[in-house]
Structure 1
């Protein structure tokens, strides 16, 4: 399943209610409207074809001494070769990527969207990829 398909499978209210599971990631209700607008925009963007996959992992950051969500691109047909971070990748590229098998096996679909939305939000806004 591609991220594009996943975004179109769930209503915004399902995604927002799921964020309770990851409340620290969404900074409480502070950015609710921003996340909602981003989610609505994602439903309008055409995906770019891709053979790559989105991988999500939770890891411990030695600098901040906190657990963080890592969202990166992998090549599943080449032993899950890590291809790089998605932080500065356009949303259209993200939408065309599959959700990795590992990610699908470890997270419920709404949780996947919450993590991806939170991961991409800050840097995309910083670089005006999404119009504020």
Structure 2
């Protein structure tokens, strides 16, 4: 729990977009080697913007991050309800269609964000 706090604090205090060469923020190896954007490109900037409440900038850096972050919040609710409230909830994420759906979403997002024409250029960070 303590490492999560310090990582979150670092993302809050330092902007990956304006980081100097002495930063722990990593460059995407896929983008560095190929010139194409991976599904995660822009996520570090999106985390920083989300911590500052700038949802419009989160969407411009990585739309998929916000969508998958929403799924994570829902999963956290299911886990918390079961653990603390001793309440049995139907967790839809425990079926193969949910997993396949997310996988298909990620693959389509990856392909579409690398098409160099409008409106797909909006998906690139």
Q: Give the TM-score normalised by structure 2.
A: 0.27
Q: Based on CA coordinates, which of the two structures has the bigger radius of gyration?
A: 2
Q: Which structure features the higher share of helix residues? A: 2
Q: Which structure features the higher share of strand residues? A: 1
Q: Give the TM-score normalised by structure 1.
A: 0.26
